[in-house]
C-alpha cells in the first residue's frame, strides 16, 4: 500500500498525454494530488500547485509518484537527481515504469540508507494464493471488452464516483499499473505468474458486506490473442455478479493485431457470460460502456441508441455522459 | 534443452507412483532411459538396469534426471551426496521439483566449479515474447479437458507414437514439468508471467512443414476456476487446427474445487471451439479422449460407444485402446 497524499512528478513530459498517470490520479483521487513537480522543459500541466520538495513536505506529502511515462519506460538520468533528493527529504517513491526503481543502484542505496520505500507497481509485491473458487460475500462488477484499452478502467472509476455520490458502498479494485498508482493499492495482473492469476483476483476482492460492490478493473479481452488468458483469470477469480460490455466502435482491428477484426458486442456478451457463469451462475450482463472519444456528439448518441435497441441493455459513454445508467442497472440487480 | 540420454534417479521413492516422472520417460522416450539409480529403501522400479554413476558414464549418459517427487517437492538431504557426486562425475542434473536445484548452495557451487548445468524445469529459462497472433505454417492439435489432470498429456503422447508408427510428421510439445523432462524441452506454462503466456506457446510451436503436426500438451481446463487463464492462453497461443476433448467420467467434482461439477462434453466442445476460432476460424473438434482407468472394460467400451453416438465424434481411451481413431480423424482433416 502506497502512503498518501502524493506529489505528482511530471518530469520533462513532452506533452500532456505522457503524463496520463498523473492525470488519472488528479481526475480520480484529487484528494491524493496535493501538488505537481515539473522539470525544465515539461509540457504537461495538471493545473495543480507547482511545489518544491520542501513545500510538498510542509503540505504533508508522503510519496512522490512518477506520473509520467517516457520512451521505453526508462528512468531518465535527468530525473535521478530529483528522485535522490526526494528520498533524502523523506518521501517514498512510486513508479509504474517497466524499468524498476529498485534496479537503479543509486536509488536503491539511498532508499536503504534513508529507510524509504521504493514502490515498483509494475511487479507484484505479494505471494498470491492459487484460486479456490469459493463464493465470497458482497457483490462484484467487471467490465469486459471487445478489445484491450477500450476504457474499462475509466468505466469502473466513473461508476465508483457515481455510486459514492449516491451513498452506495463501492470500491474500485485496480488490476493494472495506472489503477494501482491512482488508488495506492491493487494487483499488477499482467505481471503475475500464470498459476496464481485467478488467486490474485480472489485476494484483491475478498469477502465484504452483502451490499458492497467491488468495481474490478478489467484487463485485455477474451478475444485478444495476446492477453485473453489474463482476462479469463480475471473473470474466474473475480466471480462477477454483473458484467459491463466495453467497446470502442471506430477501431478497425484488435489493438496490436492487424489481422484480427473486433468481435461484435453480441459475441462478447455470449462468451463472457458463458465463462462467468462457470464461477457465478447468477451473473448477468447489465449494460454497455462505449468509448465515443472519436465520435461527434450526434454520432455517439446515435450509436448508443442503436446499441440499446439491438442488445436491450442500457448503453452510455460513462466518461462523456455519466455512469448513471450503469449504476441504475447495478442497483436494480 | 536437456542433454540425453538419461540416468533416472529414483531416490528413496516410497512407491511406484512417486516415480511417475521416471515412468513417463521410460514409457514415452525409452531411448533416453539408459538405466536407473536407486537409494536404500527405494520401492519403485522401472525395470531398467540398476547403474552406478560410473556405469552410467560408461554407457554414455549425459544427464541425471530426478524422476521422483517427494513430499513438498523438497530436495532431500539423503539425495544430496549422490547429486553432488553426479555433478563431479560430469553429469548435468534435471529436476521438476518445486524447490530448485539452483537454490541449493552446495549443488550450485559444485555445478559452477565443474561447469555442469542444473536444469530446473519448474521455471522458464527463456524470455518469451508477447503473442502476435500471426498464422504459422504447419498443423497443431491440442487436447482440452473438462477438468485438470484428465489425461491430456498421455493423449498427446499416445497420438505422437501412433503418428510416428504411420510415418507422419509429429512432435509432442511439452507445456508442463513432466512433459519437459520426458522430451528434454518445452515451456513450463504455469510458471510463465501472465503477459507472456500465449507468446510462450507461439514460441514453442513455430512455423513448420505444412504436413507436420505439433501435438501440444494441454493444461488445466477452461472450466477450472484456478487455471482457466492458462488454458485460454494455450488455445490462443497454440492456434489449434484440431481439438481433442478430454474427460474422466467417474470424477464427482472439479479437481481441488469441491463445489464445482464437471461440465458436459457438449459444453466443453462449444466453449473451446468458440475460443479457438478466434485465432483459427478453421479449427474443428475431431475426437474425444476418455480416461477410463476407473472403469471396467465393459463399462469403458459402453461409455465410449455412448459418447460416439451422442457427439458424433470418434471416442477412445488412447492409453487403453490406442490412439488410432484420433489419428485417423487428424489424417482426414
Amino acid A230: pLDDT: 98
User: Residue written as cell 512510486?
Assistant: A94
Chunked mean pLDDT (size 10), chain B, 333 residues = 96 92 96 97 96 98 93 81 97 94 96 98 95 98 97 97 98 97 96 98 98 98 98 98 98 95 98 98 98 98 98 98 98 93
Euclidean distance between the first and the last CA atom of chain B, given in angstroms as a whole number: 32
What gap in Å lies between CA A52 and CA B287, rounded to an integer?
Answer: 68
| Cα A253–Cα A254–Cα A255 angle in degrees, nearest 5 | 115
Interchain contact, B226 vs A263, CB within 8 Å: no
Find the residue in A nearest to B233 (Cα): A229
Helices (H) and strands (E) in chain A, counts: 12, 11
Query: A167 — contact with chain B (CB < 8 Å)?
Result: no
Neighbouring residues of A265: CB distance < 8 A, sequence distance ≥ 6: A146, A245, A247, A288, A307, A310, A311
Q: Which of A134, A194, A227 sits opposite B192 (nearest CB)?
A: A194
Minimal Cα–Cα distance from A217 to chain B, Å?
16
How large is the ipTM?
A: 0.94
Which residues in chain A have Cβ-Cβ distances shorter than 8 Å to B135?
A: 259
What does the pLDDT profile of chain A (333 residues) look like in tens digits? 999 999 999 999 999 989 999 999 999 999 999 999 999 999 999 999 999 999 999 999 999 999 998 777 778 888 999 999 999 999 999 999 989 999 999 999 999 999 999 999 999 999 999 999 999 999 999 999 999 999 999 999 999 999 999 999 999 999 999 999 999 999 999 999 999 999 999 999 999 999 999 999 999 999 999 999 999 999 999 999 999 999 999 999 999 999 999 999 999 999 999 999 999 999 999 999 999 999 999 999 999 999 999 999 999 999 999 999 999 999 999
Which residues in chain B have Cβ-Cβ distances shorter than 8 Å to A256?
A: 132
For B142, the grid coordinates are 491440442
Amino acid A142: pLDDT: 98
Which runs of E-coded beta strand occur in chain A? 6-11, 33-38, 63-66, 92-95, 118-120, 139-145, 169-173, 212-216, 242-247, 284-290, 315-316
User: Residue written as cell 510451436?
Assistant: B205
pLDDT (tens digit per residue) in A70-94: 777 778 888 999 999 999 999 999 9
Which residues in chain A have Cβ-Cβ distances shorter than 8 Å to B73?
A: none
Interchain contact, A194 vs B233, CB within 8 Å: yes
| Local structure of A4: helix, strand or coil | coil
Closest CA to A232 of B250, B107, B220, B206: B220
pLDDT (tens digit per residue) in A10-53: 999 999 989 999 999 999 999 999 999 999 999 999 999 999 99
Find the residue in B nearest to A195 (Cα): B190
What is the greatest pairwise CA distance in chain A? Answer: 62
Find the residue in B nearest to A229 (Cα): B229
Interchain contact, B232 vs A222, CB within 8 Å: yes
Find the residue in A nearest to B226 (Cα): A131
Interchain contact, A133 vs B225, CB within 8 Å: yes
Query: Which DSSP string corresponds to A53-81?
Result: HHHHHHTT--EEEE----GGG---HHHHH
Neighbouring residues of B159: CB distance < 8 A, sequence distance ≥ 6: B141, B170, B215, B244, B318, B323, B326, B327, B330
Interchain contact, B225 vs A278, CB within 8 Å: yes
Interchain contact, B197 vs A193, CB within 8 Å: no
The phi and psi torsions of A284 (rounded to 5 degrees) equal: -130, 150
Using CA atoms, how far residue A226 sits from A57, A147, A219, A230, B124, in Å, is 43, 11, 12, 9, 18
Interchain contact, B198 vs A228, CB within 8 Å: yes
Q: What is the pTM of this model?
A: 0.95
Closest CA to B280 of B237, B321, B250: B237
Interchain contact, A233 vs B194, CB within 8 Å: yes
pLDDT (tens digit per residue) in B271-310: 999 999 999 999 999 999 999 999 999 999 999 999 999 9
Q: Which of A189, A195, A225 sits opposite B133 (nearest CB)?
A: A225
Strands B63-66 and B92-95 turn out to be parallel
Find the residue in B nearest to A226 (Cα): B131
Burial A206-234 (b: 16+ CB within 10 A, else e): eebeeeebbbbbbbbbbbbbbbbbbbbbb
For A144, the grid coordinates are 469486459
Interchain contact, B133 vs A223, CB within 8 Å: no
Amino acid at each position: 500500500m502506497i502512503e498518501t497524499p502524493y506529489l505528482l512528478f511530471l518530469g520533462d513530459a513532452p506533452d500532456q498525454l505522457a503524463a496520463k498517470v498523473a492525470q488519472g490520479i488528479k481526475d480520480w483521487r484529487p484528494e491524493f494530488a496535493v501538488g505537481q513537480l515539473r522539470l525544465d522543459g515539461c509540457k504537461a500541466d495538471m493545473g495543480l500547485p507547482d511545489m518544491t520538495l520542501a513545500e510538498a513536505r510542509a503540505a504533508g506529502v508522503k510519496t512522490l509518484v512518477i506520473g509520467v511515462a517516457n520512451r521505453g519506460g526508462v528512468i531518465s538520468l535527468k530525473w535521478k537527481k530529483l528522485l535522490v533528493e526526494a528520498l533524502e527529504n523523506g518521501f517514498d517513491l512510486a513508479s509504474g515504469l517497466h524499468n524498476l526503481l529498485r534496479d537503479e543502484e543509486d536509488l536503491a542505496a539511498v532508499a536503504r540508507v534513508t529507510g524509504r520505500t521504493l514502490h515498483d507497481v509494475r511487479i507484484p509485491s505479494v505471494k498470491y494464493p492459487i484460486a479456490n473458487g469459493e463464493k465470497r460475500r458482497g457483490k462484484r462488477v467487471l467490465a469486459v471488452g471487445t478489445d484491450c484499452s477500450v476504457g474499462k478502467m475509466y468505466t469502473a472509476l466513473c461508476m465508483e464516483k457515481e455510486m459514492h455520490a449516491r451513498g452506495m458502498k463501492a470500491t474500485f479494485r485496480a488490476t493494472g499499473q495506472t489503477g494501482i498508482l491512482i488508488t495506492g493499492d491493487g494487483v499488477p495482473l499482467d505481471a503475475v505468474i500464470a498459476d496464481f492469476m485467478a488467486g490474485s483476483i480472489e485476494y484483491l476482492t475478498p469477502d465484504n458486506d452483502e451490499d458492497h460492490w467491488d468495481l474490478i478493473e478489467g484487463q485485455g479481452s477474451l478475444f485478444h490473442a495476446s492477453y485473453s488468458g489474463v482476462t479469463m483469470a480475471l473473470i474466474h477469480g473475480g466471480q462477477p455478479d454483473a458484467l459491463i460490455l466495453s467497446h470502442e466502435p471506430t477501431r478497425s482491428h484488435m489493438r496490436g493485431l492487424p489481422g484480427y477484426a473486433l468481435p461484435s458486442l453480441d459475441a462478447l456478451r455470449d462468451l463472457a457470460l458463458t465463462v462467468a457463469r462457470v464461477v457465478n451462475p447468477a451473473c448477468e450482463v447489465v449494460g454497455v460502456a462505449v468509448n465515443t472519444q472519436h465520435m461527434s456528439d450526434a454520432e455517439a448518441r446515435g450509436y448508443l441508441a442503436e446499441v440499446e435497441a439491438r442488445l436491450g441493455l442500457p448503453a452510455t459513454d460513462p466518461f462523456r455522459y455519466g455512469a448513471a445508467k450503469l449504476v441504475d442497472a447495478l442497483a436494480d440487480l
